[in-house]
Chains A and B, each alone.
Chain A
Amino acid sequence: MADPDTDLIQAVLAGDTAQFEVLVQKYSPRVFATARRYARREVEIEDIVQEVWSKAFQKLASFRGEAPFEHWLMRLAVRTCYDFLRGHQRNREHTFTELSDPERDWLDRFGADPAGTSEDADAARALVRRLMDMLSPKARLVITLLEIEERSVKEISVLTGWSVSLVKVRAFRARAEMRKCLAKLNRNAYL
């Protein structure tokens, strides 16, 4: 089945750059959703998405049409998000003495009754964000794609450009890194 975007892409490559706006309008929601997994500030999210579209425009001639345009664009988006993570590595040494009261309360309740603690609580979501911020860019990318978005190893390999074996190795290391962070959480929650 022909990609419905092929005509638009051909028009842009032929010089009718105004048609690119149609692609931007169509796929920006998906690109924004992807960027929001990796950045929190809206300014940074917009920068990421602008960078994605800028790269898409520059590299449009390299789109061969073997897969849908959306897949090609998402690969670009994931790699741009990864570059963003690498460029914005903050001091990840969050000490859990910085935990807010709701976060501590949630952890206390979880310790007492794991099954009865809601994962939909704001405190749980805040803890997840804190945990993600602690991870290295590689680990964060793999955990987000593999565990949170529940993508297959093969899909991750296509999105990131890493080989399947490299994805598996990085997934193993990312899980180990996350466990270390959780152990730190456990130790410091009771300080």
Chain B
Amino acid sequence: MDLEKLEAKLIQAARNQPVSSHVPFAFEKRIMARLGAVRSMDLAAFWARSLWRAAAVCLAVSVLLSLWSFTSHGSSETITLESTVLSMAEQLSDNW
């Protein structure tokens, strides 16, 4: 069998075959309804994503502050800071 001729024949068969452009009844209404639903979902999804991101950031800040608070408890820097602030306050109260 001549495969080149077979190929040409089958391609011609495909070219000759008309392709239907039929659109189902009220298809455009379904599309518009679907787009409306997608838009509403997108707004909710946007809020959900934003809130989750904010929660993640708050959690990270809390963890960092906790770590800092835990590791700096009783450190010399804290004592120095604390005593400096308090000594200033004492001075102020003495002068007052």
Q: Cβ of A119: which chain B residues have Cβ within 8 Å of it?
A: 9-10, 12-13, 16
Q: Cβ of B16: which chain A residues have Cβ within 8 Å of it?
A: 119-120
Give Cα distance in the complex from A117 to B9, angstroms. 9
Interface SS of A by simple majority = helix
Which of B20-28, B52-60, B64-72 lies on the face that meets chain A? Answer: B20-28
Contact at B27–A28, with CB atoms within 8 Å?
yes
Give Cα distance in the complex from A25 to B29, angstroms. 9
Q: Cβ of A37: which chain B residues have Cβ within 8 Å of it?
A: 19
Question: Known contacts being A17-B35, A20-B32, A183-B3, is A127 close to B10, with CB within 8 Å?
Answer: yes
The reply on A29 being an interface residue by CB < 8 A is yes
User: A24's contact among B10, B19, B32, by CB below 8 Å, is which?
Assistant: B32
The reply on B77 being an interface residue by CB < 8 A is no
Contact at B5–A150, with CB atoms within 8 Å?
no
Question: Known contacts being A29-B21, A125-B17, is A114 close to B2, with CB within 8 Å?
Answer: yes
Q: Which of A8-51 contact B (CB under 8 A)?
A: 17-18, 20-21, 24-25, 28-30, 32-33, 36-37, 46, 49-50
Given A54-B34, A54-B38, A179-B3, 8 more pairs with CB closer than 8 A? A18-B32, A20-B35, A21-B28, A24-B27, A33-B21, A114-B5, A119-B16, A121-B13
- Which 7 A-B pairs rank lowest in CB-CB distance, beginning with the nearest? A29-B21, A119-B13, A124-B13, A33-B21, A24-B28, A119-B12, A128-B14
Residues on A lying within 8 angstroms of B by beta carbon are: 17-18, 20-21, 24-25, 28-30, 32-33, 36-37, 46, 49-50, 53-54, 57, 107, 110-111, 114, 117, 119-121, 124-125, 127-128, 131-132, 147-148, 150, 178-179, 182-183, 185-186
